[in-house]
Amino acid sequence: MKRITKPLSVFLVSLMLVLTLAGCQTGTSVDSAVEITVPAPAPVADSAQPAAPAAEPAQETQAVQESAPVIVKQTGSLSFYGYTVTYEAVPGQAVVSYPAFITNEEVEAFFAFAFERHADQLAGVYYEITAPGTLVLTFPQEVTVADATAVVEHMAGHDLPEFLNQYLGSDDAVVEVVRDEPVVEVVPAAAQESAEPAAVYPFGVTEIKKADGDDTFNLYVVHTNDVHGRIEEGTDGSLGYAKLSTLLKMGRSVTDNILVLDAGDVLHGTNLANVFEGESVGVLLNMLGYDAVAPGNHDFNYGADRLIELSALSDSMGGAKVLAANILDQNGNLVFQPYQVYDYNGFKVVVIGLTTPDTKTKSHPRNTEGLTFWDDSYVSYAQQAVDLAHEIGDYVIVLGHIGLDADGSGLTSDMICSAVDGIDLFVDGHSHTVLENGTEVNGTLIVSTGQYLNNVGLVEIQVSDGAVQGESAMLIPASEVIDPSTSALAQSLGITYVADDPEVIAYIDQLNAELEQRFSEVVANVPVALDGEREHVRTRVTNLSRLICEAMTAETGADFTIINGGGIRASIEAGEVTLGDINNVLPFTNTVAVCEITGDQVYEALEYGYSMAPESNAAFSQSDLKVVYSRFDEPGSRIRRVLLPDGTPLDRNATYTVATNDFMAAGGDGYTMFGRVVQEGRQLNEVFADYLAQIYPAD
C-alpha cells in the first residue's frame, strides 16, 4: 500500500487542521487566555451517533464587533509534497477531506498538541473522524475573517515547527506549504439573522442547495445501478470507483449542476464489500459525492438493522441520502427518508426512492422481518405523491430498484410509468437491463446502466428560464474510460488518459490490507481434511462438497441443493480453518439462489450432471440429495433412484425448491432446467463460513 512516512503524514494533518481550526476562533484575540476543560478526542465513527463535546463552550473574553464580517462559507485547499487537502467551513462547522491513508492516531496526535497549546482558542471545539479521509469540526459560530487570517499566520509561523520538533525529536523542521487563495463569502454579523433558512417540506425533508447561478443551464444526472460491490477496476468488467471519482471531479471542475444517483444493489457482492458489511462501499460513495441511493434487495443482505445503521451513518457524514418511499415498519411508519429536494439555480429537483417488493424473497426473509414493501394503498396514492412532488419541485425523478423483468412481484418500472403520470425520469435498477439511450414510457424517460459499473449513465437535461426544454440519455462504457483511444467522445474532448483518484486508491489499498488481515481469522476447527481436489469434486461427491450443499440448504430452507463441482476450487486441511481458506475453496462472487423445480427436472439436472462420469466434468452435480446411478448405462439413462436429504424418495410429479448458485440459476454450465428464482441470498463463501463455524466451532 502506497503511503507517506508517519512524520510527513502527521505534518500534513497538522497543516490541514491549522487552516480549518482558524475558522474555529471566536472574536477573541490570539493571545487571550480562557480557562476551559479540553474535550477528549472523538473516536472513529462506527455508528450514526455524533461525537459529543466534553465541555460547554467557554465564555468569550472579547465581544465580537457588530460590524465584523463573519464567514458564511470558506473553501480552499493546500498542498504538501504533492498531497492535497480540501476544506469547506461554514458557521459552526468545517468539513476537511484529506488522504485516506493518514491514520486516526496521526490525526489525534495533532489534536492533542493543539488542545494543549491553544486551550483558549479551542474553547467549545470538538471533532469527529467520520470516515477515513474525512473530518468534521464543530465550533462556536461567531467566526470573523480577521480571526481566521490571524490564527493561520500565527500557527503556520510558530506552532507547526514546534509541533514537528516535539514529535520528531529534532530542531530543524522546515514548514513549506502551498495554499491556494481561499474563497470566502462574508456578510456583516448583523445580517446573519435575516438569512433565509433552507426550505423544509413534508416529512421534515430539508432542501439541499446544489448550485446558485443562471436559470438557463444544463443539469447532468450521473447514475449507476447494480454495482454489487465491484469496487476495483477490472472486476467483472468494472470501471472501478477510482476512475469514476476522477470523472466526477473532472465534471465538477466545469459545473456544479451535477446530481449523482445509484439505483441500488451496491453494498454487497464482493469480499471488499461483504467483509465490512457494506460500510466500505458507503465510505466510497461519500468520497465520490453520491447524492442519493435507493436500497436494493441485496442491500438488505446484512439485515434491515444494518442497512438502517449505514443510512444513518451516511446522513451524519453528509453523504448520500438513502431514499425509499415504499418501505414501512410493522407500525406503518416509513423506515427511510422517502424523497429529497435539490435546488439547482432555483430549479427544484425532487428525487423519490423506491425498492422492489421482490426484496421479501430475493433477500433472505429474515432480513426484512416486520417490513412491508408494497400494498394496494401505494397504487391509489402513487399519482397523488407524484402530483405533490410537482407542487414542491419542477422536475421529478424516481430512483427505483424495480427493474423491467416481471418476475417475483410482477411490478416493473415501465408498469409504474404507464400507470402514473408526471414522472420525468426513472433511474432504474434490479433487472441489470442495459438501456443505451434510455426508453420512453408515457412521457417518462427510463434509464439503466446494466451491472457491475460496466457502464456509467449520463442524462443531460436542458433547462431554460426554470423550465425543461429537452433531455437526452447515454451510457459511457467502462472500456472506453479505461482506454479512451476507443472512444470517439473522449477523442473529441482531447482525453487520452483517465487516472485513478489517488485518495480512492489509497482507501482501497487500506481495505485490501485489512481484508488480508481479516482473512487470517480462524472461524472453525475441522477434525478431518475436507476434500476439494479438482479431480474429485468433478467426478464424485466428497465430504467438502456435501458440507457446502448442506450449508446452502440450511441457509435458505430449500428442499435440497444442487451446485456444479467446478465451483469448488481447493481442499481444507484438518485443524484450524481461516476465512482465507474458505475463500480459496469458494473464490468466486457467486450468491445463493433458490429456484422452483419439479421432480422430473431434478432427474433431468442429475442426468446432465452425471452424463460424463467417471470423466472429469465441471458441471458434475454436487448435491445433498442421495443419488443412485450407474455409470455403465448410456448418458441420459443413468439415474436409478433419488432420495431427499431426509431419506424420503423424490416424487417426480411434485414441485420442490432447490438451492443453487446464481451462475447456475441463470443457466450456467448448461443447467437450463431450473425454474424461476424465488429467493436470492448472500455470497456463497459467507454462507459456508457461517455453517462451518457453527458445526465445527473454533477453539
Candidates 463, 357, 468; CA nearest to 416 is: 357
Cα–Cα dist 15/10, whole Å: 9
- 166-170 long-range contacts (CB < 8 A, ≥24 apart) are 166/113, 167/7, 167/10, 167/109, 167/113, 168/7
CB atoms within 10 A of CB 40: 16
The domain spans of the chain are: 6-194, 200-514, 522-695
In the chain, the amino acid numbered 469 is Q
Q: Are 564 and 534 in contact (CB under 8 A)?
A: no
Cα–Cα dist 278/285, whole Å: 11
What local confidence, expressed as pLDDT, does residue 11 receive?
Answer: 35
What local confidence, expressed as pLDDT, does residue 140 receive?
Answer: 64
What local confidence, expressed as pLDDT, does residue 428 receive?
Answer: 98
Rounded to whole angstroms, what are the CA distances from 174 to 1, 156, 177?
27, 11, 10
Q: Give CA 638 to chain center in angstroms.
A: 48
What are the phi and psi torsion angles at 95 (to 5°)? -115, 125
What residues contact 281, with CB distance under 8 A and at least 6 apart?
227, 229, 231, 266, 267, 273
Within this chain, domains 200-514 and 522-695 share the same CATH topology: no
- 10-residue mean pLDDT series, the chain (699 residues): 30 37 32 26 32 34 44 65 67 74 75 74 70 73 59 56 60 53 61 62 92 95 96 95 96 96 95 92 96 96 94 90 95 93 97 94 84 77 91 97 86 94 97 96 98 97 95 96 90 88 95 92 96 95 97 97 94 95 88 96 97 92 96 93 96 97 91 92 94 94
CATH class of residue range 200-514 = alpha beta
DSSP strand pairing (217-224 vs 455-464): antiparallel
What local confidence, expressed as pLDDT, does residue 189 receive?
Answer: 52
What residues contact 515, with CB distance under 8 A and at least 6 apart?
271, 272, 275
The SS3 assignment for 473 reads strand
DSSP strand pairing (395-401 vs 425-428): parallel
Candidates 409, 418, 426, 413; CA nearest to 361 is: 409
Cα–Cα dist 104/566, whole Å: 44
In the chain, the amino acid numbered 625 is L
> What topology is assigned to 522-695 in CATH?
5'-nucleotidase;  domain 2 (3.90.780)
Share of the chain residues as helix, strand and coil, in percent rounded to the nearest 5: 35, 25, 40
Q: Are 392 and 348 in contact (CB under 8 A)?
A: yes
Place of cell 493518514: 102
Residue 421, C-alpha cell as written in the block = 403520470
Cα–Cα dist 151/26, whole Å: 11
For the segment 486-528, what is each residue's pLDDT rounded down to a tens digit?
988 888 878 889 999 999 999 999 999 999 998 999 999 999 9
Candidates 156, 189, 160; CA nearest to 173 is: 160
Residue 345, C-alpha cell as written in the block = 439555480
